[in-house]
Structures are given as C-alpha cells and as structure tokens.
Copies of this chain bind each other. A is one copy, B any other.
Amino acid sequence: MKKFFSVNDITDLHTIVKEAITLKKTPQQNNHLGKGKTIGLVFLNSSLRTRLSTQKAAQNLGLHTIILNANQEAWTWEFEDGAIMNGNTVEHVKDAANVLSQYCDIIGIRCFASLTNKEEDITEKVYTLFEKYAKVPVVSLESATLHPFQSLADCITIEEHLPKNKKPKVVLTWAPHIKAIPHAVGNSFAQWMNQTDYDFVITHPVGYELDTKFTQNAVIEYNQEKALENADFVYVKNWSSFQDYGKVIPVEEDWMLTNDKLRGTNNAKIMHCLPVRRNVEISDEVLDSENSLVYQQANNRTYAAQIVLQKILENHE
C-alpha cells in the first residue's frame, strides 16, 4: 500500500478486516517493521482518538512518532497555487509537504471540511495538494469528505459482532446536533459499507442527503422507524446539509436515538465514532447499554491504523 485516503486504496475489505483482527491478538509482533523510521502526524484540527490510536499503532510497529499541531506550533498554510503571499498565510502547503517529507517516512494529516466552500471541500483541495507535494506515503487522519481509519475500525467492530447465520442489516441514521458538522464519517461509512454484502440502509430527514458519490445505490429510507426495523447494527451520526452546503436545516421530528426507537430492531448494536453529544444525538440509556459498541470502535482504531501502516511499511498491497 502506498497511500490511504479511501476504501479504494485497499485491495479487499474482507481480507484487511481479517488481518486486523489477527494482528490484534499479538499487536507488538511486528515491532521491528518501523525501526529507525518516523511517522509525522499533522493536525490542522482537534483530535483525541485519531491522535492517540495512531501513536499507539506506530508504537506497536516500532515507528517513532512526531506530532505537529500545525497552526498552533508552526505556520499558517497557503493553499492557492501561484498565490502572492502578502497576506496572513506564512508557508505554502507545497513547501510544508515537501519539507515534512524530509523528516518522515510516512505522514498522516487531518484536514476537516471548511463547510463554507463546497467546491474546495468536495474536491479535497487541502488533502490533495498535500499529497501531491509530499514525497512519502500519506495517510488520511480525516479529510474534508472521508475518514477511512474510522470506517476500517467500524468494519472490524462489525465483523467482531456479526449475527450468526444471517446477513447483517446495518443502518446509518442521522442524528441531531447543535452545530454544522462535516459529512466525512457518514460518507466514509457509506463508502465502506458499499464494499460489503451487508444490507445497508441510510435514514435521515429530507434535505440531509449525502453526496451520492459515496452513498451510490445504498437504500435511502426517510422514515427512521421503518429504516430501523430488524437492524442488527445502528450507526448514529450527525452531518449538516450537503445540498444547502454546511447548513443546519431545522427538523421537526425527534431523530435522537433512544431505547424506544430500538424496539423494532434485532436487538441492534449501537455505533458512533465519538465524540458524541449525549442526550442530543443518542440518549444516555442507549450509549451506556450493553449493546453499545462505541468503545470497541475506539479500541479498533489502533488496529485499523496499524494494519494500514504495516502494509505501507511492507509496501505490500
């Protein structure tokens, strides 16, 4: 593997999920692979799980980690090619990416959607420029439209809890939030689910349709109750409007996931990428129930990162 931006960078979803579950048993078995090598983790945005799980994965592989909170610790970046840099930006992404490549064998970068410039977000302007100018493999720590480490961890978590003798029904349900949130987790989960043979249904209020580039021919069901029927896994996530880009469109019905809403499910497992707004997106009773897999998802972030970094270090597919 030479980069990790989306599901398209892996050869086979089922295989990599199985490999991750195997390495989870002896996570430090390959700690010679990163010897003498360095991964740089560049954050343009906040991070808890990604920050820690990627460091943990690197440690398991014997990789040295360098963290850069780029805006606070270094210089504000310019993203326009040909820009006359007489404003607030101090270093061009072209130079930053190239320079980071001098010190790192792999670079991870987190660059959220702006939610103010749809064109720049959907073309992944920031990530794409960084990757273009980097001279070493780049992995996404969440970009404007996708969050592949999260989705791989989600697939690992589902695989570990598959119902027996049954194709699972997985429902991605929109949830309320108080502010505009990017689409990356929703898009990414849809993209990865589309690579499985699971029954996959997306439910959200009218106006909250995700980019069809990622949802493809997934079933969209606007009635949350109907969507949740017989679900084995319910993935809860808020996102802002894609059509009316980055806006929070008022919704009349209550979309918060509660125990009451889960009655029609097949004793569904509950998933969320965290951080979660408790009692806004999901009720405490659901999050704190035995069916909640949210901490297992967080734990699997380590092994999702580790299997990818391992493949990059081995330069295998």
Contact = CB atoms under 8 A, between A and B. Distances in A.
A82 B294 contact: no
Contact of A96 (B36, B48, B103): B48
Contacts of A102: 53, 295, 298-299, 301-302
A276 interface: yes
A74 interface: yes
B298 A75 contact: no
Secondary structure dominating the interface of A: mixed
Contacts of A276: 91-92, 95
Given A56-B103, A178-B86, A298-B99, A91 B280 contact: no
A68 B52 contact: yes
Given A75-B46, A85-B279, A284-B82, A95 B294 contact: yes
Contacts of A302: 102-103
Chain A interface size band reads: 35 or more
Nearest to A78: B278
A81 to B, nearest CB: 8
A47 B59 contact: no
A259 interface: no
A83 B48 contact: no
A116 to B, nearest CB: 20
Interface in A39-98: 40, 43, 46-49, 51-53, 55-56, 59, 64, 66, 68-70, 72-75, 78, 82-87, 90-92, 95-96, 98
